[in-house]
Structure 1
Amino acid sequence: MPFNTEADDGVAGRDEWPYAPAVGVGPLRFGMAVDEVVEAAEVLGQSNVSECSPGPAIFSPTWKIEVHRRGMAPSAPAVTAYVSQAVGLFCVAADAVHGPQVAHDGLTLVGRDLVELERDAIAYAEAVDGHFRYTPEGYAGPDDPGVVMRAQLVGEALRSRPLFMVTRDGANTEWDSLPRDEYRNGQFHA
């Protein structure tokens, strides 16, 4: 059941990407190899591929693919995808300012004021007699283990920067699978 939320400033004109739990987001499918992610991301813009710094020994080598929108002045990547050698694409982060808009059952997730998103997540859960979840950092979002809500400082406001994920390389949860570049010891992503 779609849930209509208030429109946030700056989200008009964004690409809209569908999300399917455990399948993928937009043109990106979990399990894709690096070259497949780069090819699929061409719908949005130019990609840069780099190796991630080594994480815990349990994880295989990981690559980061930053996708910048075509025709925009140099800016933060609209989407950052993470690909593990062992499982392929396992994480897609949508930038709060430049990223495509993604919804979960009609609840818009990208670039939202975190207080408003929490209010809307609670209202949605009450409307459908469902649930919502908080991350260990205290951000509310849909009751889907494949959506990890993160905060991004935009000016003086905290906006939502969701990560769409599956577990990787023997991790127990998506939270355990966070790429090192996305988890900054509780610091906000900037």
Structure 2
Amino acid sequence: MAFKAEADFGVAGRDEWFYAPAVGVGPLRFGMTVDEVVEAAETLGQTRVSDCAPHHAIFSPTWKVEVHRHGAAPSPSAVTAYVSRDVGLFCIAADAVYGPQVAYDGIPLVGRDLSELESDAIAYAEAMDVYFRYTPEGYAGPDDPGVVMRGQLVGPVLRSRPLFMVTRDGANTEWDSMPSEEYRLNESTA
């Protein structure tokens, strides 16, 4: 089964990271400490660590590690990693514009027009006789609890911003674990 090539939807030239369910993405492994995330992310660029606002009392303190690509001009973060004091790294978000490309069984997930990604997810599910799933907002993606599809407004188009996750302390599912900073929708980056 063939899907559109990255160049067909404008993301050629990105780093390619491998996703391993419940293990991690690229050089980042679930359970890493903040220092380990910063060290592993140096291959992509510079990092900035900040505290996340405590929106839910059940979660331990959480840090946000923003990874910016190497280069002369400052750029928005390509990857945002969320690290909990109790469970370590639990969420990795790939920016729709600047993030590395991550595929799920041959389907590129980052920076896609969400309607095209939905078509590919349906075609994949039919061809492989497997399921796909929708998020509560209606974004289609693989039937993997460790992948939560989000939308990011890029110019006039809503593009895919996948979150790769494991459950964090005090949560029942990855959806419950999602950092409150990732609830923002329609934040334009272009």
Give TM-score, length-normalised by structure 1.
0.95
Q: Is 1:86 the equivalent of 2:105?
A: no
Offset of 1:183 from its aligned partner? 1.1
Please name the residue that 2:163 is paired with: 163
In structure 2, C-alpha distance between the alignment counterparts of 1:188 and 1:4, rounded to whole Å = 30
Deviation at 1:189, TM superposition (A): 4.0
Cα deviations across residues 115-148 of structure 1 (Å, max 9, x unaligned)? 0000000000000000100001100000000000
Cα RMSD for the two superposed structures = 1.0
Secondary structure (helix, strand or coil) at the match of 1:4 reads coil
In the alignment of these two chains, the number of paired residues is 186
Report what 2:24 is aligned to.
24
Equivalent residue for 1:116? 116
Distance in 2 (CA, whole Å) between partners of 1:86 and 1:177 is 13
Query: Aligned partners of 1:96, 1:19: CA distance in 2, in Å?
Result: 16
CA contact (8 A) 1:132 1:142 kept: yes
| Runs of 4 or more consecutive aligned structure 1 residues displaced over 4 Å after TM superposition | none
Q: Identity percentage over the alignment?
A: 78
Contact kept in structure 2, 1:167 and 1:173, CA below 8 Å:
yes
Q: How does 1:92-131 map to 2 (within 5 A)?
A: 92-131=92-131
**Structure 1 residue 72 displacement after superposition:** 5.4
Q: What does residue 146 of structure 1 align with?
A: 146
- Deviations, residues 10-48 of structure 1 (Å, cap 9, x unaligned): 211100000000000000000000000000001100000
Task: Return 5+ residue gaps in structure 1 as ranges.
Answer: none
Residues 66 and 81 in structure 1, CA contact (< 8 A), matched pair in contact too? yes
Q: Which moved more, 1:113-122 or 1:7-16?
A: 7-16
Query: Unpaired runs of 5+ in structure 2?
Result: none
Tell me which amino acid in the other structure corresponds to 1:6. Answer: K
The residue identity in structure 2 corresponding to 1:4 is A
Letter in 1 for 2:104: H
CA distance in 2, matches of 1:157, 1:74: 23
Between Structure 1 and Structure 2, the one with more helix by share is 2
Q: Which SS does the other structure have where 1:150 is aligned?
A: strand
